[in-house]
A and B are shown apart, each in its own frame.
Chain A
C-alpha cells in the first residue's frame, strides 16, 4: 500500500487542506504572501501540493512551481521552512505517524529549489 493510500487518499487531502491553509494564514513569517489571493483557487493549489507530498497521483512540474513563485519578492529558505513546519504540524494534528511525516517532509523538501528558483 502506498503512503497516499495509507493516509486515506483524496479524503485525507480534503481533511488536511483547511487545517494547513489556516496555519499558513496564521503564520506571520509567510501570511503576507497570501494577502489578496483568490482563496478558493489557492486552496485548489494547496490540494495539488498536498496530493503530491502525500505521494498521490499528481501532475507536478518543476516549471509550474517555478512560474508560480518567481514573482514573489524576497522569498527565501525561511519561508520554505515555515511551510514545511506547518505541513508537519497539520499532519501531527491529523494523527499521522512521525515516520510518515518525515517521509512527507522529505518530498516537500525536494521542491525547495524549484520554489526558490535556484
Chain B
C-alpha cells in the first residue's frame, strides 16, 4: 500500500492495484488507452518520490530522466507526488473525410501539423480522457494527410464517435505520432515480409507504400489475414500495386470460404510454411497480439534476427 498525491488530493493505492486504477477509482480523470504499457497515453510525472522500475521500463532513457512513468504499469510501494506532464500535450487535427472500406472498417483522414513515419501510431482523443491509438497508413508529404483505418465496433468509445459524431471539417485532438513500426533505409537491400491481421493493414500499408516509393527492389511478401473474405479490405488496391510492382507478392489469407487467389488457413501456419528461411529478411508483423507474438517467435526460429523483426501488437480494449 502506498499514498500518492495527484491534483492536490491524497489517494491510497492498495497492493496489487495499478496507479491508473487507483487514480480512476478515486475519481481522477487520467488519459488512458491500452492499459498494457504500450500506448503511453497514461504518462505521468513523479515530481517527488521513488518510481518503481517497472513503471519506467518501456520508456526511453530521456523520458526516465524526466521522471516520467506509465500509470498503468506503476505499482507504487512508497509515496509519490504526481502531475500530468506537459510533454503529453496534444495537437489539433481536422477531419478531412471518412469512407467505409469493406464490411466494418472506416478509413478516416485528418490534416494536422505533426510529423510521422508511415506505420507509426497516434492517439485520437474524443475528450480529455477518452482516447484510442491507431496506426498511420499514409505519408506526411506524399499524401499530406494522416490516414487511419478504424474497425467499427458497437459501443466503441472512439469508433462510434468517429462514425456518427465527428464530421468533416471538425477538429479533435491527437497525440504526437510515435512507435517503432516504420520502414528504415536499412531495410532497402533485404527481402521484406509484411503480415497484417485486421486493421494491422493500416501500418503495413504505410510501410509498403514507403518501401515502393523509396524504390525497394528486393522481394516484398505481403500477407493480409481475416476470418473470411468480407473481413479483408484494400484487396483491389493491393492487387493493382502487385501488378504494377513485380517485386510485390500480395497474398490474402482467410480462415474460411476463400475466394480465387486467396490462401486458406491460419496466417501463422501459412506464413511459417511459406517462409522457412528468413535469414537476412526484414519482418513487420501488425495486428492482434496473439497472432503477432506467435509469428514473431516463428519468424525468429526460422532465421530472422530478433532486431530485424518489428512486432506491433494492437493491445486494445474491446470498446475501441
A contact residues vs B (CB 8 Å cutoff)? 14, 17-18, 21-22, 25-26, 36, 39-41, 43
Contact = CB atoms under 8 A, between A and B. Distances in A.
A22 B296 contact: no
B305 A39 contact: no
19 contacts: A17-B306, A18-B305, A21-B300, A22-B300, A25-B297, A25-B300, A25-B301, A26-B301, A36-B293, A39-B293, A39-B297, A39-B300, A39-B306, A39-B309, A39-B311, A40-B306, A40-B309, A43-B306, A43-B307
Given A17-B306, A18-B306, A21-B306, A39 B301 contact: no
A74 B306 CA distance: 28
Interface residues of B, number: 11
Interface string B90-110: 000000000000000000000
Contacts, number: 27
Given A39-B300, A40-B311, 20 more contacts: A14-B307, A17-B306, A18-B300, A18-B305, A18-B306, A21-B300, A21-B306, A25-B297, A25-B301, A26-B301, A39-B293, A39-B296, A39-B297, A39-B306, A39-B309, A39-B311, A40-B306, A41-B57, A43-B306, A43-B307
A25 B294 CA distance: 13
Nearest to B302: A22
Q: Classify the interface of chain B: helix, strand, loop or mixed.
A: helix
A106 B297 CA distance: 30
Contacts of A17: 306
A116 B45 CA distance: 35
Contacts of A18: 300, 305-306
- Nearest 7 Cβ contacts at the A-B interface: A43-B306, A18-B305, A39-B296, A18-B306, A22-B301, A25-B301, A39-B306
Nearest to A18: B305
Contacts of A25: 297, 300-301
Contacts of B301: 22, 25-26
A111 B199 CA distance: 45
A43 B309 CA distance: 12
Nearest to B308: A18
Nearest to B305: A18
Contacts of B306: 17-18, 21, 39-40, 43
Interface in B294-320: 296-297, 300-301, 305-307, 309, 311
A58 to B, nearest CB: 16
A39 B292 CA distance: 11
Interface in B257-313: 293, 296-297, 300-301, 305-307, 309, 311
A36 B301 CA distance: 15
A26 B300 CA distance: 11
B119 to A, nearest CB: 16
B128 to A, nearest CB: 30
Query: B57, B296, B307 — which one has the most chain A CB atoms within 10 A of its CB?
Result: B307
Contacts of A26: 301
A53 B57 CA distance: 23
